[in-house]
Amino acid sequence: MTPAARTMEEIRILSPTGVMGSGFLETSFERALAHLPHFIGCDAGSTDPGPSHLGAGHAAFPRPAVKRDLRLMLIGARRLGIPLLIGSAGTAGADAHVEWTFEILREIAHEESLSFTLALICAEQDKAYLKRRLGEGRIKPLNPAPQFDEHTIERAERIVGMMGAEPFLRALDAGADVVLAGRSSDTAIFAGLPMQHGFAPGLAWHAAKILECGAAAVVNRKTPDCMMAFIRDDHFIVQAPDPGLRCTPQSIAAHSLYENADPFLIKECSGTINLTASRYEAVDERAVRVSGSRFIPADVYTVKLEGAEKVGYQSVFIGSIRDPFIIRQIDDWVTRLEGRIHARVAQVYGAALKAGDYHLNFRIYGKNGTMGPLEPVKEIRSHELCLIIEVTAPAQETASDIAGIIRHQGLHLPIPEWSGLITALACPYNPAHLDRGAVYRFCVNHVVEPDDPYEMFPMQLFSVAGATVRECGA
C-alpha cells in the first residue's frame, strides 16, 4: 500500500462488539456515535467455534442475534453517513455465510427503509485456482500444517482465503457505504482506512488488533460491548464508551496475548505487526495511550487459507458407571468393549463394512475426558465416571446402527468380580444415543502467494433502497 499524506488530525474508529451476534449495549453504542466515529467495523467470524461451521456452511450465532446487532450498526452508520465494514460474515466467511448475512441485511434495509451502496466481497476459493497455485509452488505450509495436496483440495467442503485490508479499501473506493466481506483477517477490517488517511501502519494495525475484540481488552469486562480507538500522528488512544469500563496500560498490553501464538509479532497478509517497542501509558482512569508499535512490510504478500473436510457421520452414546469394580478396571474394560463392538459389527456387516471404514472414540470423563493424552493425573479420584462413545461412519444410518451395538455390548459387558448378567452402564437418554449428522475437520493451515491482494476476493456492488436491491457492477 502506498503511504498517503495524512488528511486529518485524528481518525476515530468504533468497534461495536468482538463478534457480530454476541451483542453490545445500545447505551454504549449511542455514546460511541456521539464521538462521531469516521467508520464502524465489526468482525463477524472466527475459527474458534470449530470446523463444522465452515464445513456445513452454518453460522455459530443465532440469526435473530446477528440481526439485532446488524440492525443497530446499520442504522447508526447510515444516520452518521459513515462506512460500515463487516468481515468474516456468518462465522466462517464462505459464500453460504456471506449470502446468509446478505439476506439478513436486505431484510433490515427493507424494514428500516435504508438506502446505501453495498459491496459484497467473497472469500471462498475456487478449487481449480487453488490447484493451479499449488502446482506453481505458491501454496506454502504454516507450522504446524496438515498434509495438503490436490486430494485435500478435492476433498474439502469449502476453502476460504483470509483477506487483507486492500479488498475493503477497493470496495470503499468504488463507492460502497457498507462492505459485507467473507473471511477476513480480523484486523484488516479496521486497519485499511486509517492507513489510507495517512496514519502510521504500525498504529493502525495495533489499534485494529485491539478493536477487533470489542471491549475484551478492558479490565472489568461485564458483557460483550463497544470499544473505540482514536488514532493520531504518533500514538493512539483506546477507550470503551461505557463509562463503567476501564482500560489500563496492563490490560491493553495483555490483550495482544489473547488467542495469539506470539504476543509481540502478529502476521498479516502484507507484513507483521511488531509490538516489541510498544509503550502503554494511562491517559486517565479509563483510557490508554499507545505508541511505538511498528508494522514491518512483507517481501511477499500471502493469504492464509482455512478449509474444512467432511470426516463422516457421527452418533454419540452417553452412559455412566458407578460400580467401583468397573471403575478400577476401566481401561481394560473399555479395551474389551472395543473388541466386542468390532466383533459384533463384523458379524452384522461382514465384508460390507471393514474396521477401517468406521471410527470409534472413547472419552472417559472422571479420568481424562478433558485432556486426553495430555492429562498428568493418572489415578481416578471420582466415585463415578461418564463414558461418551462416538462412532463415525460413512453414512448416518450406519453410525446410528453401530451406536445401537455399542449400547448393547456396553450394557452387559461382564467383569470377573460378578457372576451372572450385569448391567454396567446407566443411560440418561432414550434412545441411548444421539445422531450428530456430518462432522468435519480443519484440513488446511497454509498460505497462498497471489499476484495481487484482490484476485482471490471478487467484489459485487449493489444499490440498496429499502426493499429494492439492484446490482450496479463491480
Partner 1 sequence: MSKLAELARLIRSKNAGPFELTFDIMFDDAAVYQRVRDSGALTREAIAARYGLPPAEVKFFYCDNALAVKATIPRPVPQGDLRDGDGHGGQQYAPLMDIEIPGRKV
Q: Name the site residues for partner 1 (rule: CB under 8 A).
A: 47-52, 142, 144-146, 249-250, 253-254, 256-264, 278-280, 306, 311, 359, 361, 363, 369-374, 376, 390, 392, 439-442, 445
Chain centre distance of CA 196: 27
In the complex, least distance from residue 69 CB atom to partner 1, rounded to whole angstroms: 21
Q: CB of residue 251 vs partner 1: minimum separation in angstroms?
A: 9
CA 466 to chain centre: 31
Rounded CA-CA distance 173/287 in Å is 32
Tell me whether residue 189 or residue 439 sits nearer to partner 1 (CB atom): 439
CB 217 to partner 1: min, Å? 11
**Residue 213: half-sphere exposure toward Cβ, Cα within 13 Å:** 19
Nearer to partner 1, 369 or 458 (CB): 369
In the numeric block, which cell numbers belong to residue 160?
476460504
Dist CA 123 CA 162 (whole Å): 7
To which H or E segment does residue 53 belong?
Answer: helix 51-56
In angstroms, give the least distance from the CB of 226 to partner 1.
23
Residue closer to partner 1 (CB basis): 30 or 281: 281
C-beta closer to partner 1: residue 272 or 463 = 272
With cell 463392538, the residue in question is 341
Q: Going by C-beta distance under 8 Å and a sequence separation of 6 or more, which residues neighbour residue 212? A: 15, 18, 41, 43, 186, 187, 189, 190
Of 78 and 221, nearer to partner 1 (C-beta) is 221
Q: How far is the CB of 374 from partner 1 (least distance, A)?
A: 6
Cα–Cα dist 358/57, whole Å: 24
Q: How far is the CB of 413 from partner 1 (least distance, A)?
A: 22
Minimum distance between the CB of residue 120 and partner 1, rounded to whole angstroms?
Answer: 26
User: Residue 387 has which C-alpha cell?
Assistant: 463414558
Cα(453)–Cα(81) distance, rounded to whole angstroms?
28
In the complex with partner 1, the residue whose CB is nearer, 179 or 303, is 303
- Locate cell 493502525: which residue? 204
Residue-by-residue DSSP string for 379-429? S---S-EEEEEEEEESSHHHHHHHHHHHHHHHHT---TT--S-----B--S
CB of 145 to partner 1, least distance (A): 7
Nearer to partner 1, 33 or 210 (CB): 210
Q: What is the dihedral of CA 165, 166, 172, 173, to 10 degrees?
A: 150
**Cell numbers for 461:** 456492488
- Of 425 and 439, nearer to partner 1 (C-beta) is 439
What Rg, from alpha-carbon coordinates, does the chain have?
26
